[in-house]
Amino acid sequence: MLTVSDVAEKLGLKVVVQGDLSEIVSGCYVSDLLSDVMAHSKERELWITLQTHPNIVAVAVIKGIAALILTNGRNPEPATIIKAETEKMTIMISPHSTFELAGLLYSMIKESRPSQAGPS
């Protein structure tokens, strides 16, 4: 079982807003379309995106996302940070591209639960 904190540590992610880092990660969803995330992401998944505006926090909160990860070293907008702090939603930044980060996370999640690997 992986926690948000395990993921942050193993992938060298910079935690910009700290929510509940002990939350257990159920998987990961990758999308920059917010309606797609609303329709297809699942509770306690990590969400990898390039979007940096405050609406990502609103979507993450309503979907019960474990943490947001922004790729390519993108920084969240100041308003996003304020909203995430209010909502206690973790936001982390990775220097990796979305493709690289998703690959790394896929392996990590697969190793942590070998029997349930694959798309969920």
Q: Which residues are within 8 A (CB) of 4 and not within 5 positions of it... i.e. 6 or more apart? A: 19, 20, 21, 22, 23, 25, 46, 66, 67, 90, 92
Binding track, positions 79-118, relative to other proteins; x by CB under 8 A: x---------------------------------------
Nearer to other proteins, 9 or 32 (CB): 32
Q: Other C-beta atoms within 10 Å of 47: how many?
A: 21
How many whole angstroms separate alpha carbon 35 and alpha carbon 13?
26
DSSP state for residue 115 in the 8-state scheme: G
* Single residue of 54, 85, 95, 112 touching other proteins by CB under 8 A: 54
72 interacts with other proteins by CB under 8 A: no
Min separation Cβ 61 and other proteins, Å? 6
Asked if residue 80 lies in contact with residue 56, where contact means CB atoms within 8 angstroms, the answer is: yes
24 interacts with other proteins by CB under 8 A: no
Residues numbered 31 to 50 that lie near other proteins (CB under 8 A) are 32-36, 38-39, 43, 49
Asked if residue 71 lies in contact with residue 98, where contact means CB atoms within 8 angstroms, the answer is: yes
* Single residue of 12, 62, 99, 120 touching other proteins by CB under 8 A: 62
List interacting residues with other proteins (CB under 8 A).
32-36, 38-39, 43, 49, 51, 53-56, 58-59, 61-63, 79
